[in-house]
């Protein structure tokens, strides 16, 4: 099979790496890719979605796998369908599960999928009035995609009103703030759960836990993710069964009933209450990043074979191994302002771990930093502690100017 991966981050490097292992693959390509992906796939320079579809048609691509949510939200799956091409990812209508918080919350309410209580507003004055009758903390969410920055946990009324002001009046997220969701705050522990879905067929994957805050101990601003590990010990087999029966399967069936059948990777961000009950915080319509970098290394089975089976209407059992811890190396200043273009040293010394490229580039034959999140160092072990030790030993061998990372990934 001739396979194409779309995207250029650590998640896409992990996808390309895993797909490259399949004996079904004859040729692997990536658009736009990165220097790490270039080691396992041919990199092509195509920009817009229609151009990508034409390239895929002209190069007889048998299957395309999409990494980033943006391409899905603008309907690249629909464009590929018009060209008669197979793509593993949801249509624009199905991708609304991520691109609209209002749609996803109302879907959960309609189909009895457990989630926090909420209310939806399009007018600032009405939202502010609603706040007056609520106790804090509360969660304020912009409806649309906001680069992972459209959610505010407001500890008091002043913070809640400030968040509403930013989203609805100042329009910091543009049209993504046309509507807001005000949500009850849930206490507990977060876990990310993934599944391969095609209509009413669901193949559950495994769980992971990521670290959003920039600094050790959960301090500092939220980021796209500073690290992750899998599996999560408190995500028990019984809890996994409940999540499949109460969340993953009803979500897939609900989307079919809504006339928006889902095909692709379904990601449910969950809160596990102190009583052990799962609640959906949000849906994403693609792999998490950096969760993909700790989930895919644990997969012993052939990912491409599973995807092909699912697209043919069949499900397969997947095999998993060990524990994986991934540590993200970032540019100094991330997630705010940072500088790029610094040489990356020491990768040749790293052995027995995986290093996924997230924000790198080649400059005059030298690998340099090219983003906020630069590399993800992922290590497998028989348990989390062994994986953690291996990951940080590898981190100690890598250097670039301003390199920063959390030292507590996988510790709790």
Encode pLDDT of 62-98 as tens digits.
999 999 999 999 999 999 999 999 999 999 999 999 9
Q: Identify whether 410 is preceded by a cis peptide bond (ω within 30 of 0).
A: no
Question: What pLDDT shows up at residue 150?
Answer: 85
Local confidence band at 199 (pLDDT 50, 70, 90 cut-offs): very high
Task: With a cut of 80, say whether residue 320 has pLDDT above it.
Answer: yes
Torsion of CA 44, 45, 51, 54, to 10 degrees: -30
Task: Sketch out the chain's domains with CATH numbers.
Answer: 2-91 (3.40.50.20), 117-184 (3.30.1490.20), 189-311 (3.30.470.20), 323-395 (3.90.600.10)
Question: What pLDDT shows up at residue 47?
Answer: 85
117-138 confidence digits (pLDDT tens): 999 999 999 999 999 889 999 9
Taken as a whole, the chain contains a residue count of 412
Across 170-247, the runs of DSSP E, i.e. the strands, are 180-184, 189-198, 201-210, 213-215, 219-222, 227-230
Question: What pLDDT shows up at residue 404?
Answer: 98
Q: Identify whether 46 is preceded by a cis peptide bond (ω within 30 of 0).
A: no
Place of tokens 């995986």: 354
Residue 333 tokens, joined: 């200043």
| 180-184, strands of its sheet edge to edge | 118-121, 180-184, 138-142, 151-154
Local confidence band at 305 (pLDDT 50, 70, 90 cut-offs): very high
239-287 confidence digits (pLDDT tens): 999 999 999 999 999 999 999 999 999 999 999 999 999 999 999 999 9
Task: With a cut of 90, say whether residue 367 has pLDDT above it.
Answer: yes
Percent of the chain with pLDDT over 70: 100
Question: What pLDDT shows up at residue 282?
Answer: 94
Question: What pLDDT shows up at residue 169?
Answer: 94
Tell me the three-class secondary structure of 337-400, residue by residue. CCCCCCECECHHHCCCCEEEECCEEEECCEEEECCCEEEEEEEEECCHHHHHHHHHHHHCCCEC
Q: What whole-number distance in Å separates Cα of residue 377 and Cα of residue 138?
A: 35
* Residue of 107, 111, 318 lying closest to 206 (CA atoms): 318
Mean pLDDT of the chain: 96
Q: The pTM is what?
A: 0.94
Task: With a cut of 80, say whether residue 148 has pLDDT above it.
Answer: no
Is the CB of residue 37 less than 8 Å from the CB of residue 43? yes
201-237 confidence digits (pLDDT tens): 999 999 999 999 999 999 998 898 999 999 999 999 9
Q: What whole-number distance in Å separates Cα of residue 99 and Cα of residue 28?
A: 29
Residue 220 tokens, joined: 């500092």
Cα 65 to chain centroid distance, Å, stands at 14
């Amino acid at each position: 099979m001739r396979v194409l991966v779309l995207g250029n981050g650590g998640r896409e490097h992990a996808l390309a790496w895993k797909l490259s292992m399949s004996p079904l693959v004859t040729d692997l390509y990536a658009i736009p890719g990165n220097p790490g992906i270039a080691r396992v796939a041919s990199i092509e320079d195509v920009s817009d979605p229609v151009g990508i579809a034409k390239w895929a048609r002209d190069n007889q691509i048998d299957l395309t796998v999409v990494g980033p949510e943006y391409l899905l939200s603008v309907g690249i799956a629909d464009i590929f369908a018009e060209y008669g091409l197979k793509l593993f990812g949801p249509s624009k209508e199905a991708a609304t599960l991520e691109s609209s918080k209002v749609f996803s919350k109302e879907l959960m309410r309609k189909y009895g999928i457990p989630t926090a209580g909420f209310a939806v507003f399009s007018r600032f004055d009405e939202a502010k009035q609603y706040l007056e009758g609520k106790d804090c903390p509360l969660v304020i969410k912009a409806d649309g995609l906001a680069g992972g920055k459209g959610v505010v946990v407001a500890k008091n009324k002043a913070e809640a009103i400030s968040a509403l002001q930013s989203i609805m009046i100042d329009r910091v997220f543009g049209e993504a703030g046309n509507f807001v969701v005000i949500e009850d705050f849930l206490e507990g522990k977060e876990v990310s759960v993934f599944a391969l879905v095609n209509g009413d067929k669901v193949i559950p994957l495994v769980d992971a836990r990521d670290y959003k805050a920039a600094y050790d101990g959960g301090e500092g601003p939220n980021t796209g993710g500073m690290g992750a590990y899998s599996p999560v010990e408190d995500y028990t087999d019984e809890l996994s069964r409940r999540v499949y029966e109460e969340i993953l399967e009803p979500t897939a069936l609900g989307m079919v009933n809504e006339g928006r059948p889902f095909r692709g990777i379904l990601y449910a961000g969950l809160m596990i209450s102190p009583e052990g009950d799962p609640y959906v915080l949000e849906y994403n319509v693609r792999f998490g990043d950096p969760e993909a970098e700790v989930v895919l290394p644990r997969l012993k089975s052939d990912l491409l074979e599973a995807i092909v089976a699912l697209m043919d209407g069949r499900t397969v059992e997947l095999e998993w191994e060990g524990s994986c811890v991934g540590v993200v190396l970032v540019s100094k200043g991330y997630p705010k302002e940072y500088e790029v273009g610094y040489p990356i040293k020491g990768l040749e010394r790293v052995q027995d771990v995986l290093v996924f490229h997230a924000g790198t580039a080649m400059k005059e034959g030298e690998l340099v930093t090219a983003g906020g999140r630069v590399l993800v160092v992922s290590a497998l072990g028989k348990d989390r502690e062994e994986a953690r030790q291996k990951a940080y030993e590898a981190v100690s061998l890598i250097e670039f100017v301003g390199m920063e990372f959390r030292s507590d990934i996988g510790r709790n």
